[in-house]
Structure 1
Amino acid sequence: MIPSIPQSQAFKKTYSVYVGLFFLFLLAPLIVVAVFSLNDSLFPSLPWEGFTLDWYFEDSKERRGLFHDRAIVDSIGTSLVIAVCVAVMSISVAVSNALLFERYHFRGKSVLYSLMLLPLVIPGVILGISILSFSSGIANNLEDNYGMDLELLRPGFLLIVLGQFAFISTMATLVISARLRKFDIQLEEAALNLGASRFDVFRTITLPWLKPAIMGSAIVAFLMSFENFNTTLILAGSDSPLTITLFDRMREGSTPVLNAVSTLLMLGSGALALFSLFVQRKKEQ
């Protein structure tokens, strides 16, 4: 709907109802999940048996809450460590990529840029299988020929980080490149003419300009890593991240503990999103 074009009252009301129904469609499943995490029942379904926080804090044989479920708590910790590593690596490479593709012209630049975008169009499962096949081939060759057993090349923490980094770094590069494209390069030239070194120019001028995009990209990279499933499923080892642990639990049967985990993730994601908006708005003021 274009605000500058006059609209009838009937159209405005219909449009408002449509928008309301659309957001209700998006929020209804999340609300249902959160509500049933508070249901005093062994199963996340009707009828409503009463309000309880047991699925968060109880520690008994019949009911083991989220914060006393060692497998889930450990998987959350594993996912947090993986997400932080992926976010740091992705932002570091993304800043370098943005400077390379936006500031320099060289032979084969378009080909290199296309290769950088390639992980975005490859399905996550295929990406995971490719990384696993490549690393396992190297590990098997080293073990057969030299007797070296490199566990780092087997399914586990390192392969998960590399698999997620492969496509998340591309997303971060696109965001930071878009911000860098709006930068007035004359500011850098003026600082260089005044005697500043290139490192000082980057640290005091370019980097502060990129800071909102870097922080936004870091939050997006963290969330994308934390909730990734397809690639992680192929590359996970014995220490499973949260998404794989939840998948294994769902195969055994849904319980309100899974609803509690989902509610905690919704609150955490919402808090990060609000923090990102707050930081960006503060920078604009």
Structure 2
Amino acid sequence: MIPTIPQPRAARIAYGAYVALFFVYLALPLTVVGVFAFNNGQFPSLPWEGFTWNWFFGDERPMIGVFHERSILRAMGTSVFVAFCVALLSVAVGLSNAFLFNRYQFRGKSLLYVVMLLPLVIPGIVLGISILVFSSTVANAAWDAAKVDIQALRPGLPLVILGQFSFIATIATLVISARLQKFDRSLEEAALNLGAGKLTAVRTITIPFLAPALIGAMVVAFLMSFENFNTTLMLVGSDAPLTIAMFDRLKEGSTPLLNAVSLLLMLGSSLLALVMILFQRRR
């Protein structure tokens, strides 16, 4: 609906109802998950058995809270470590890719750009299986040839980081490239004319201009890594990130503990997004 074009009253009401229903559709499942994190019962379902904080702070079974559940806390720490590593790698490679595709012309550039985008259209579980098969083949070949066991190519955190990085780096590249395309290169040329070296001009002029995109790309990469499940499931070892740990718990039966974890994740993600928005507005 175009606001500047007069619309019949019935059309405006229908459009408003559609928008309201759309947001209810998005918010209602999250609201239900959050509400049942405070249910004083063993199952996150009706009937409501009273309000409690035990699923967050309880220290006695069966109602042990998130902050006293060591396996969940360990999984959270693993997810934060993996997400931080993936975010750093993705932003570093994304920055290099952005300069490569925006500043240079070379044969096969279009083909290379398409190859970079391919991980975005490949299902995560297929990507995970492919990486697992390839890495296992290389590790087995190294063992057969030289009796060298390359643990980084076996299921575990290094392989999880590489697997997530394989497609999240593409997202970081697109975010940074969009900002770099708006940069006025005459500013770099002015710095060069004043005696600055090329690297100095990029470091003091271009990188500060890209700072909002770099921060945004890092936040997006962190969140995408933290919530990733399909690719991680194929590559995980004994140290399970939070999504895998929650999946294993869910197979045993859902409890409000998982609702409490989900609520904390929603609040954390919202706070991180809010900080990023405020930072970009200040810039």
Deviation string 1:163-205 (CA, Å, 9 cap, x unpaired) is 0000000011011111111111111111111111112211111
Distance 2:93 2:148 in 1: 31
Q: How does 1:68-87 map to 2 (within 5 A)?
A: 68-87=68-87
Deviation string 1:139-178 (CA, Å, 9 cap, x unpaired) is 1122223222222211000110000000000011011111
- Aligned residue in 2 for 1:45: 45
SS in 1 for 2:93: helix
Q: Does 1:255 align with 2:260?
A: no
Q: Quote how far apart the aligned CAs of 1:7 are.
A: 1.9
Instruction: Give the residue type in structure 1 aligned to 2:26.
Output: L
Q: Quote how far apart the aligned CAs of 1:39 are.
A: 0.5
Instruction: Give the residue type in structure 2 aligned to 1:209.
Output: F
Aligned length: 283
- Aligned residue in 2 for 1:202: 202
Instruction: Give the residue type in structure 2 aligned to 1:116.
Output: M
Deviation string 1:110-130 (CA, Å, 9 cap, x unpaired) is 111111111111111111111
- Aligned residue in 2 for 1:183: 183
Deviation string 1:43-84 (CA, Å, 9 cap, x unpaired) is 111111110000011111222111111111100000000000
- Aligned residue in 1 for 2:18: 18
Q: Does 1:118 align with 2:113?
A: no
Q: Quote how far apart the aligned CAs of 1:11 are.
A: 2.2
Distance 2:25 2:225 in 1: 26
Q: Does 1:219 align with 2:225?
A: no
Instruction: Give the residue type in structure 2 aligned to 1:247.
Output: F
Distance 1:49 1:165 in 2: 44
Deviation string 1:12-32 (CA, Å, 9 cap, x unpaired) is 222122111110110000000
Q: Quote how far apart the aligned CAs of 1:41 are.
A: 0.4
Distance 1:117 1:159 in 2: 21
- Aligned residue in 1 for 2:269: 269
Q: Does 1:236 align with 2:245?
A: no
Distance 2:78 2:187 in 1: 43
Q: Quote how far apart the aligned CAs of 1:10 are.
A: 2.7
Distance 1:190 1:208 in 2: 16
Q: Quote how far apart the aligned CAs of 1:86 are.
A: 0.3
Distance 1:12 1:201 in 2: 53
Q: Quote how far apart the aligned CAs of 1:42 are.
A: 0.7
Q: Quote how far apart the aligned CAs of 1:4 are.
A: 1.3
Q: Does 1:91 align with 2:91?
A: yes
Distance 1:21 1:138 in 2: 51
**Amino-acid identity (%):** 61
Q: TM-score, normalised by structure 1?
A: 0.97
Distance 2:13 2:60 in 1: 52
Distance 2:114 2:243 in 1: 30
Q: TM-score, normalised by structure 2?
A: 0.98
Q: Which runs of 4+ in 1 moved over 4 A?
A: none
Deviation string 1:210-268 (CA, Å, 9 cap, x unpaired) is 11111111111000000000100000000000000111111111000000000000001
Instruction: Give the residue type in structure 1 aligned to 2:41.
Output: S
The farther-off stretch of 84-93 and 58-67 is 58-67
Instruction: Give the residue type in structure 2 aligned to 1:154.
Output: R
- Aligned residue in 2 for 1:280: 280
The farther-off stretch of 126-135 and 258-267 is 126-135
